[in-house]
Structure 1
């Protein structure tokens, strides 16, 4: 899920088009992208699309960002959009573990009501100082939580922190990545609002990749290809990972715990990382599926 493209829930003319695009995942948005006066209409439009118009084998991860739990829209959103084919519900602004568990319970109830064999997982937005402080607790509050997503605009702007301040961005990203690691879920990068600033988008995506984030949110289709390229394992990374995996297999056969590949000491953590790179490359079609692990 290198790229996640926001699709406003009030723009049904974009739904099918987005499914044909290059984004790995789509996030149909009922929150910030939809005016208050159009919330109910957008909810109904998205529900009808999910029920009747999803093409088979579209190959994308489908996400719906619902409205926050303290709004009048949350329960109706969940009841409408927890449909077969939706993989993840993106929950904005969770502030405590009780909210996460309550959201998961409502998703499970809606899944039963709507005939979902597998309830959608939860992607939690980290968008407040409290959520950042207890991010690992939020991520571990329920087994359905699959990831944490950083929302720098909501986190920084109310506090007067410059959205482009490198030190603040690095610290927030690192904190979310460590929280996600503690809970055993993935970390996902948020949006970059300046569509024209491609260099800024790429630089922020590259930073989050170096910090172990899975991918980045895109607010415009022009950002999708940039994200796909940044989060794609490079040819050099793939080649080195293959060497590590092959060396690990040989070392295991000879009961060797640590060894050298390309002049670098390698042991178990490096092997796990190499396997992840190889599997990621395989999932993107960069390696034949039959390549030895």
Structure 2
């Protein structure tokens, strides 16, 4: 998911446009974007959406569909899951995760509804790292359950209580590095959080490039104008794809002859670089670049 567009669940008029837009994923929000007294109606909107997905357009059918529910320790969590755990939902975005135990509890709750409704296929969990405790325990959270498919940074909740400026590069890069390493240890992906300055597309591009340099797969978009930038930044370049293809082809040749290290395009290549090249080739194929 190079781009994940946030859509308030309380605004059903935006659903169709988001589902037919260019974002790789649509993340319907039941948490911060919806006032407490509007949450019941927002749940009804999402339930109706998922019940009607059998009639979705081809564009919508290709989307990854996410719902950001309210945190496990809120009075809204159980009702959120009851409303959205249906066939067609791919990922539950769990906010304010601070322990492996909370991930396990959320996974158990999702599984119970899946069994009750006969849902085939396992709904994933995207765990938000957005507190100092969550950051410290990010590796435990990432490995807490097989449903956890990624970690996502929540900069606002993480930085604001600590008095850290939201755009402070040293802070954002430190957090990104910690989250990426935690996700990498668990063998899952890391996704960058929101960039709140909608009127600064070049700032969004620079910030996204900084995340990609640290191995992030994609990031949140809080406005449709950010989707194209995210898709471009987190797509491998043609040069990268060509090099990756040559690495994979060379690996097939050399490894079959017992050679574990070799050169491609003047660069030394061995195990980790072969894995990276294989991932780049796989992504390029999914994106239609190969």
Offset at residue 56 of structure 1 (A): 5.7
274-283 vs 47-56, greater mean Cα deviation: 47-56
**1:195 matched to 2:201:** no
**Separation (CA, whole Å) in 2 of partners of 1:115 and 1:56:** 24
50-59 vs 155-164, greater mean Cα deviation: 50-59
SS of equivalent residue, structure 2 residue 263: strand
8 Å contact kept, 1:83–1:115: no
Q: Which residue among 122, 139, 143 is the counterpart of 2:142?
A: 139
**Separation (CA, whole Å) in 2 of partners of 1:130 and 1:188:** 19
**1:176 matched to 2:179:** yes
Q: What residue in structure 2 maps to residue 47 of structure 1?
A: 47
8 Å contact kept, 2:53–2:88: no
Q: What residue in structure 1 maps to residue 63 of structure 2?
A: 60
52-61 vs 237-246, greater mean Cα deviation: 52-61
**1:262 matched to 2:271:** no
**1:250 matched to 2:253:** yes
Please identify runs of 4+ aligned residues in structure 1 that moved more than 6 A. Answer: none
8 Å contact kept, 1:82–1:119: no
**1:34 matched to 2:34:** yes
SS of equivalent residue, structure 2 residue 225: helix
Q: Which residue among 201, 220, 223 is the counterpart of 1:220?
A: 223
TM-score (norm 2): 0.97
SS of equivalent residue, structure 1 residue 49: helix
1:245 and 1:79, CA in 2 relative to 1: closer, same or farther beyond 3 A?
same
Structure 2 residues not aligned, in runs of 5+? none
**1:239 matched to 2:246:** no
Offset at residue 265 of structure 1 (A): 0.6
RMSD, aligned α-carbons: 1.0
TM-score (norm 1): 0.96
**Separation (CA, whole Å) in 2 of partners of 1:261 and 1:53:** 46
**Separation (CA, whole Å) in 1 of partners of 2:100 and 2:247:** 40
CA deviations 1:31-59 (Å, max 9, x no partner) are 01111110111011111111124516420
**Separation (CA, whole Å) in 2 of partners of 1:257 and 1:269:** 11
Q: How many residues align?
A: 287
Structure 1 residues not aligned, in runs of 5+? 288-293
Q: What residue in structure 1 maps to residue 14 of structure 2?
A: 14
Q: Which residue among 110, 113, 118 is the counterpart of 2:116?
A: 113
**Separation (CA, whole Å) in 2 of partners of 1:141 and 1:247:** 37
